[in-house]
Chains A and B, each alone.
Chain A
Amino acid sequence: MPKKILVIDDEPDVLIFLGTLLRKNGYDVCEAEDGVEGLKKVIDEKPDLVCLDLLMPEKTGIKMYREMRKDEELKKVPVIMVTGFSTSPIGYMDFKKFIHHRSIPAPEGYIEKPVNKDELLKAIKQVLGE
């Protein structure tokens, strides 16, 4: 049974790209365009892993991540952050706050945009323990 991965990103291009990439590599993929939809799908689809964009409208990736981690069930779902935060001046501040928030554990993995296909697949395999 293929593992299910939830991809959350506000950019349709990224969704198409990541969806194509992960399906090609034998994963079951579901998609969400923002944090609200993402949170709903985490509950409904019960994915094995979440690929989360940090900067999004509606609920940002950070907010969604915090909520996931507060929930007893959802906090078990591993998350890989996909972001361009390290160089974006706006995202950088949010990320700093996020990193320094001691009460919330760090995500299981993160990779920077632009997404390197091999890096992403490697990180997924590592998190899923394959």
Chain B
Amino acid sequence: MPPKQALTPNAGPPPRDVVAAIRGVSKVYSLGGHEVKALDNVSIEFRQGDYVAIMGSSGSGKSTLLNVLGCLDRPTTGQYYLAGQDVAVMDDETLSRIRGRYLGFIFQSYNLIQQLSVVENIEVPLSYQRPPMPGGRERCLKLAELVGLSKRLGHRPTELSGGQQQRVAIARALVNNPHVILADEPTGNLDTATSHEIMDLLDALNKAGRTIVMVTHENDIAERARRIVRLRDGRIESVAEVRREALPAGG
């Protein structure tokens, strides 16, 4: 691997208010002998309180980008600064700890653990905190209340509607007080009304200062964000600021 410095001229840790930054990130897969560039020299910065929607057709590289941002995948080249550290070079165990400490995940299919109750699902990230976070249980209860599920703490995921499950997932994504919340098509499995409820919740979280990065292919969902990054063939095609006034009042 060539030195990263050479490929990324603007190297070095980003300023304080940038919670996550990728610089010159490429991801190359070798599929059946020939190489596929899923990401090609992508650089983005996410500031504290940012709300970014990543859009693009399938194969544009948005899933790969989210995996890299989620520390689930390492870039082939380039740097990824998260909480001031270059995580692109970290080993598997350290990456696990970074995920647990700085990131919150929201998935399209909720991804709750079936044999655990609502409150236990919210608690899962806490069991992987080293050192353990103080006041874990109370935090979970508070978050359950925040997402409106304080009356269903003992329920199993199968006993909840899709919207309720996604609320549990959101609470779970908040429990470790993450620097960045990564949402992968958070409304993909929900009907329109429920989608809007979930998006209202995400909006509120962002207003409260949370940094949210969201992958979606729905325009009306993407327009809830402050910025829309469009990907095409592994490159950033455009970055657009969303004008709030364009949205109908009340969402």
Partners in one complex: no
Give me the interface of B with A, judged by CB distance under 8 Å.
Answer: none
